[in-house]
């Protein structure tokens, strides 16, 4: 569903993403993790076509993003770390706008299902300016899902959600991946995403350190237990790399 080949992005003299290559298949939930400044958000924005890479190639469900950007972008959705909604549109109107932008026919039943699933029904007609941070996050997710994208990307989606909201969101993501679609999710909350991701991509300073399941990554770290937690694997991977560079 997603193929990234030697993706490189520079900002003046700083390399934010360094020859990054990985794939995500339909049905997978990929956890994108790394320290601050690792290049997670830049990677997601390049895949979404918001930033133009300096080198490399990106394919969304077989469509080259550079050669056919409109067709590629129709196959994906990105939920940013800060949901920017239209203050004077209601929850329902946001879904209607997204459906019309993506030319989704017969969108109303899906919109009703998403509003119910994400527990937004009591706020269906509430304006965005009156919503809490967590509610705005759920509206952004619902709007992203209205065209059933083959690739759903979320940047720090758990910020602002209460425990019930987090559980609800993960249920929605599992359903989306269970339909054969791909999910990529960046987060610093390792313990929260660990049970829900099938694979992980660990970045440091824009470069890939490890990519695979927890067990596969642990097997590549000599001192790591096979049943280590994601947090143990994360620190083992990033601190070992930092020590090797000193």
Q: Are 229 and 154 found together in one domain?
A: yes
Q: Are 231 and 154 found together in one domain?
A: yes
C-beta neighbour count of 106 within 10 angstroms: 7
Q: What angle do CA 174, 176, 182 make, to 5 degrees?
A: 95
Residue 61, sorted as left (phi over 0), alpha (psi -120 to 50) or beta, turns out to be: left
Q: Are 56 and 141 found together in one domain?
A: no
CB 61 within 8 A of CB 150: yes
CA distances 87 to 80, 98, 133, 233, Å, are 17, 15, 13, 41
What is the per-residue pLDDT across 97-110, written as a single tens digit (0 to 9) for each? 999 999 999 999 99
What is the per-residue pLDDT across 176-189, written as a single tens digit (0 to 9) for each? 999 999 999 999 99
The rounded distance, in Å, linking the Cα atoms of 30 and 124 is 31
Q: Are 136 and 37 found together in one domain?
A: no
Q: Are 6 and 66 found together in one domain?
A: yes
Its domain, for residue 139, covers 81-148
Q: Tell me if 197 is assigned to some domain.
A: yes
Q: How many domains does the chain have?
A: 2
Q: Are 64 and 3 found together in one domain?
A: yes
pTM given for the model: 0.94
β strands within the chain, DSSP E: 2-11, 14-24, 29-33, 55-60, 63-64, 76-79, 151-155, 182-186, 199-204, 207-212
In 3D space, the residue among 176, 195, 185 whose CA is nearest the CA of residue 80 turns out to be 185
Provide the pairing of β-strand 55-60 with 29-33.
unpaired
pLDDT tens digit at each of 246 positions of the chain: 999 999 999 999 899 999 999 999 999 999 999 999 999 999 999 999 999 999 999 999 999 999 999 999 999 999 999 989 999 999 999 999 999 999 999 999 999 999 999 999 999 999 999 999 999 999 999 999 999 999 999 999 998 899 999 999 999 999 999 999 999 999 999 999 999 999 999 999 999 999 999 999 999 988 888 889 999 999 988 886 555 554
Q: Are 66 and 128 found together in one domain?
A: no
Q: Tell me if 164 is assigned to some domain.
A: no
Q: Are 17 and 56 found together in one domain?
A: yes
């Amino acid at each position: 569903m997603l193929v990234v080949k030697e993706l490189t992005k520079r900002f003046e003299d700083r390399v934010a993403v360094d020859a990054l290559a990985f794939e995500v298949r339909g049905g997978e939930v990929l956890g994108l993790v790394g320290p601050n400044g690792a290049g997670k958000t830049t990677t997601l924005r390049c895949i979404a076509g918001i930033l133009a890479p300096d080198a490399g190639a990106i394919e969304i469900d077989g469509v080259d993003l550079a050669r056919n950007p409109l067709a590629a972008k129709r196959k994906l959705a990105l939920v940013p770390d800060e949901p920017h909604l239209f203050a004077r549109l209601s929850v329902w109107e946001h879904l209607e706008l997204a459906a019309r932008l993506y030319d989704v026919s017969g969108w109303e039943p899906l919109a009703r299902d998403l509003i119910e699933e994400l527990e937004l029904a009591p706020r269906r007609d509430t304006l965005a300016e009156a919503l809490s941070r967590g509610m705005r996050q759920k509206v952004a997710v619902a709007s992203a899902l209205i065209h059933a994208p083959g690739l759903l990307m979320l940047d720090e989606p758990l910020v602002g959600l209460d425990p019930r909201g987090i559980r609800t969101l993960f249920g929605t993501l599992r359903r989306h991946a269970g339909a054969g679609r791909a999910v990529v999710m960046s987060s610093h909350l390792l313990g929260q995403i660990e049970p829900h991701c099938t694979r992980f991509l660990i970045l440091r300073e824009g470069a890939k350190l490890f990519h695979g399941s927890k067990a596969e990554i642990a097997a590549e770290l000599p001192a790591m237990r096979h049943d280590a937690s994601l947090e143990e694997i994360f620190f083992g991977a990033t601190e070992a790399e930092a020590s090797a560079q000193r």
